[in-house]
Amino acid sequence: MGGHKKQRDGFTSKLGVVAAAAGSAIGLGNIYRFPCELGENGGAAFLLVYLGIVLLLGVPVMLSELVIGRRSQRNAVGAFKKLAPKSIWPFVGYMGVLCGFLIFAFYSTVAGWTLEYIVKAVTNSFQGKDLAAIEQDFSDFHNNGWRNVIWQGVFIFLTGFVVFRGVQNGIEKYSKVLMPMLLLILIILGVRSMLLPGAKEGLLFLFHPDFSKITGEVLISALGQVFFSLSVGMGALITYGSYIKKDDNLVTTSLSVTLSDTLVAVLAGIVIFPAAFSFGIQPSSGMGLVFNTLPMIFNQMTGGYFFCIIFFVLLAIAALTSTISLLEVAVAYLSEELHLKRQTATVLACIATMLLGTYSSLSLKQGSPFYIAGMSCFDLLDFVTSKVLLPLGGLFIVIFVGWKLGKTKFFDEITNEGTIKASSKKVLLFIIRFVAPLAIALIFVSGFIK
Ligand code: PFF
């Protein structure tokens, strides 16, 4: 390793870095998965735990990943090989590559739905329908397994297309303009949702916590959701970190990305729950929650037809900037460590994802045989990644930065070799060394004790 110097791709501007990392973070995790998890795990109590974990664990893990990436200038596996040669640490990177692949396989199922819903929006197929009809449409779509698979394939292809062309031409350009647009439309929808009759119940559900609802299961669900939403715990931000220039400020980058990601998630909650309560949709109704509530909101809005199209297009793009980062983890690994051509690596990774992804999509059909251990393949992939691999990955990453990389290199990296101030550096190190590993380990264990 090491000897050869090949020109590495990289991000060109500071805004580009934040935009690309925020593009990775903001996606279906915020708008689809967050409301589902919150609805199934006690509402406001979950939100409270979620916000606590974002601050205490999300920021330090994200910072640690960026530090590992920029310091090493390598992919998720190569980074550990370079920073801790001849050790078992690269194992954390391999786990990350695997986790990214597994997430991409089921994430692309839901990403495919956004394309189906763009078509539904354009063809005005929600108009005048009541809740029962909209719910029926959603379940019909699910039971048409191959239709899911085709949309998923289209989505994987789109992701591959962007990654194929490399980081600078692809990732940065798409993220910069579209994320702020998504934020704007969420605000408009949030206002509309809160003005619906009976919306107050939904706001109470979201913001009035019942502390007795906090259980080990809620804690691990919140931890998994935080890591999933911030794209941490699997090396995506190690990979992106390796494209960041030496004079970018990693602490402020972590803070801005975390803040925007969390804002979008909370806004999604403000859009979904008041409306769901108003229409009589159960907060714990899982998959249908978001995909049924949204068309109902658009049906009640002036200009709903256009808002609906714009919204699903933006949602698809938000998903795309996330799948790009998922695929990039595998592609950077395959091309740098196994010396495959970037293009070959992209094609191979996409084919592999499509194979597993097909299982995931077909497993959602009623009576599907693709059940493993009582769970659909889709649910199993979601469970293993968010509740097992991401927490473990996050745990190893903070331990690595806190104890193996060590204080001096960590400070060097966050102060850009002493050229900028990082007044919180001691607190951050303390959290990364002691608080984060302990907290993650405790939550992980508590989640599995019934
Ligand atoms: N953070 C993305 C979302 O919330 O939609 C999903 C994701 C992307 C998870 C990239 C992990 C990752 F590495």
pLDDT band at 171 (very low <50, low <70, confident <90, very high): low
Question: Does residue 389's CB lie within 6 angstroms of at least one atom of ligand 1?
Answer: no
pLDDT at 5: 44
The Å distance, Cα 80 to ligand 1 centre, comes to: 21
Please say if the pLDDT value at position 101 is more than 60: yes
Question: Does residue 229's CB lie within 6 angstroms of at least one atom of ligand 1?
Answer: yes
The neighbouring-strand residues paired with 375 are 372
Please say if the pLDDT value at position 250 is more than 90: yes
In tens, the pLDDT along 127-149 reads 999 999 999 999 999 899 999 99
The Å distance, Cα 242 to ligand 1 centre, comes to: 18
Q: Using a pLDDT cut of 90, give the percent of the chain over it.
A: 85
The Å distance, Cα 197 to ligand 1 centre, comes to: 34
The burial of 52, by beta-carbon neighbours within 10 Å (0-12 exposed, 13-18 middle, 19 or more buried), is given as middle
Encoded amino acid at 51, one letter: L
Greater model confidence, 125 or 373: 125
Separation CA 149–CA 155 (nearest Å)? 10
The Å distance, Cα 337 to ligand 1 centre, comes to: 23
Please say if the pLDDT value at position 336 is more than 70: yes
Question: Does residue 325's CB lie within 6 angstroms of at least one atom of ligand 1?
Answer: yes
pLDDT at 170: 53
Question: Does residue 24's CB lie within 6 angstroms of at least one atom of ligand 1?
Answer: yes
Average pLDDT score over residue span 22-35: 96
pLDDT at 83: 98
The Å distance, Cα 373 to ligand 1 centre, comes to: 25
Question: Does residue 170's CB lie within 6 angstroms of at least one atom of ligand 1?
Answer: no
pLDDT at 165: 81
User: Among 16, 19, 51, which Cα is nearest to 181's?
Assistant: 19
| Ligand 1 atom nearest residue 390's Cα | 11
In tens, the pLDDT along 386-404 reads 999 999 999 999 999 999 9
Going by the DSSP 8-state scheme, the letter that residue 10 receives in this structure is -
In tens, the pLDDT along 55-71 reads 999 999 999 999 999 99
Please say if the pLDDT value at position 271 is more than 70: yes
For the ranges 10-14, 183-187, 290-294, the lowest mean pLDDT is seen at: 10-14
Please say if the pLDDT value at position 9 is more than 80: no
pLDDT band at 369 (very low <50, low <70, confident <90, very high): confident
Question: Does residue 100's CB lie within 6 angstroms of at least one atom of ligand 1?
Answer: yes
Which residue among 109, 228, 320 is best mutated to probe the pocket of ligand 1, counting the most ligand atoms within 8 A of its Cβ?
Answer: 228
> SS3 helix, strand, coil % of the chain, rounded to 5?
75, 0, 20
**pTM of structure:** 0.96
Question: Does residue 159's CB lie within 6 angstroms of at least one atom of ligand 1?
Answer: no
Question: Does residue 224's CB lie within 6 angstroms of at least one atom of ligand 1?
Answer: no
Q: Are 158 and 277 in contact (CB under 8 A)?
A: no
| Ligand 1 atom nearest residue 32's Cα | 5
pLDDT band at 167 (very low <50, low <70, confident <90, very high): low
pLDDT band at 372 (very low <50, low <70, confident <90, very high): confident
Distance of CA 195 to the CA centre of its chain: 29
pLDDT band at 214 (very low <50, low <70, confident <90, very high): very high
pLDDT at 164: 86
Please say if the pLDDT value at position 429 is more than 70: yes
Q: Are 103 and 323 in contact (CB under 8 A)?
A: no
Please say if the pLDDT value at position 305 is more than 80: yes
Question: Does residue 103's CB lie within 6 angstroms of at least one atom of ligand 1?
Answer: yes
Average pLDDT score over residue span 393-418: 97
pLDDT at 15: 67
pLDDT at 366: 81
| Ligand 1 atom nearest residue 325's Cα | 10
pLDDT at 4: 44
The neighbouring-strand residues paired with 372 are 375
pLDDT at 1: 38
pLDDT at 450: 64
Question: Does residue 239's CB lie within 6 angstroms of at least one atom of ligand 1?
Answer: no
pLDDT at 392: 98
Average pLDDT score over residue span 294-313: 95
The Å distance, Cα 101 to ligand 1 centre, comes to: 12
Question: Does residue 28's CB lie within 6 angstroms of at least one atom of ligand 1?
Answer: yes
User: Among 311, 47, 52, which Cα is nearest to 202's?
Assistant: 47
User: Among 127, 76, 55, 141, which Cα is nearest to 325's?
Assistant: 76
Question: Does residue 218's CB lie within 6 angstroms of at least one atom of ligand 1?
Answer: no
pLDDT at 169: 61
Separation CA 108–CA 6 (nearest Å)? 32
Question: Does residue 262's CB lie within 6 angstroms of at least one atom of ligand 1?
Answer: no
Please say if the pLDDT value at position 192 is more than 80: yes
The Å distance, Cα 288 to ligand 1 centre, comes to: 20
Residue nearest to atom 10 of ligand 1 (CA): 231
Residue carrying the six token digits 């804002």: 263
- Cα dist. 278→27, 131, 195, 295 in Å? 25, 11, 10, 13
pLDDT at 204: 98
**Backbone dihedral angles phi then psi of residue 372, each to the nearest 5 degrees:** -130, 130
Question: Does residue 90's CB lie within 6 angstroms of at least one atom of ligand 1?
Answer: no
pLDDT band at 3 (very low <50, low <70, confident <90, very high): very low
The Å distance, Cα 97 to ligand 1 centre, comes to: 13
Average pLDDT score over residue span 366-389: 92
pLDDT band at 202 (very low <50, low <70, confident <90, very high): very high
